[in-house]
Amino acid sequence: MTPLPRDWHALGGRLANWTPPQGAFDPLSGWSLHYARHALVPEPGGAPNGGLSGTLSVEQKPEGDTLRLKVIESVITCFSSPTTTAEITCAKDALLTPRRWSLSIRWQTHAPSTATPGELDQDRGGRSEGGDLVLKAAKERRRAAPERWTSYWSLFAAVPRLPFAASSVLTFDLLEDLELLKPGQRLAYLGPQPVKLGEKALNLHVFEQTGHGVLPWRWWLDDQHRVLLAAGGRRAYLLDAGAKGGVA
């Protein structure tokens, strides 16, 4: 039996009931994709371990010369679980560079003695203005904008637009969570790779992202250019085809 690539192997038994999506997908149109967020915590001997650690939904709406993304990410933790709702207006360039954004971060506390309801909630936002990034939280601050940059969430919509070709290479700085800058990123097409899950044979395409401040990330796309799996470090996002895993 051909061994599974490590990103898929790391999910272990969580793939047993997973079904790849069916139907057409146009990365340039309006769509909504939903993912299960998984923790990847292997056993000392390398056996898969970890579990469900949240959800992610990404909705894309083209609007004239811009594109709007709505992202909702929930993270499950032992004591407090944050849900971030991000509204991002992007330029229609290769990186879908954010132009304006707002973030609403709401916390559900599982241990009431640690925080009162609403105590940890945050509202943040920002915009690109001239050669600066204007970041707004409790107060407004400015910093010089990188020459080429994008957000991590934007990549879920930008990567599907890339052709499956050796020339597909993006270099940029990453503004993670639209707050923390991680420079010197490179995202490149590695080529096609078949993945066999039991009786299911998938013909997938792999992009890899490397750079300062991140462990390598790999983006696994089907022939329709739909991101099925994004995995790196100790987490992975697996498309939930049962939750509108196709066109909105």
* pLDDT tens per residue, range 91-143: 999 999 999 999 999 988 776 666 666 778 999 999 999 999 999 998 999 99
Distance from C-alpha of 126 to C-alpha of 151, rounded to nearest angstrom: 12
More confident residue, 193 or 49: 193
185 membership: H or E segment, kind and range: strand 180-197
pLDDT at position 233 over 80? yes
**Total H helices, total E strands in the chain:** 2, 15
Show me where the domains of the chain are located. Answer: 6-239
- pTM given for the model: 0.92
Of 238, 244, 201, nearest to 220 by C-alpha is 238
Instruction: Tell me the pLDDT band of 36, cut-offs 50, 70 and 90.
Output: very high
242 — pLDDT class (breaks 50, 70, 90): confident
Higher pLDDT, 80 or 99: 99
Give me the phi and psi of 219, to 5 degrees please: -110, 120
In order, the DSSP letters of 79-91 are SEEEEEEEEEEEE
* Distances 243 to 33, 60, 170, 191 between C-alpha atoms, Å: 8, 16, 30, 28
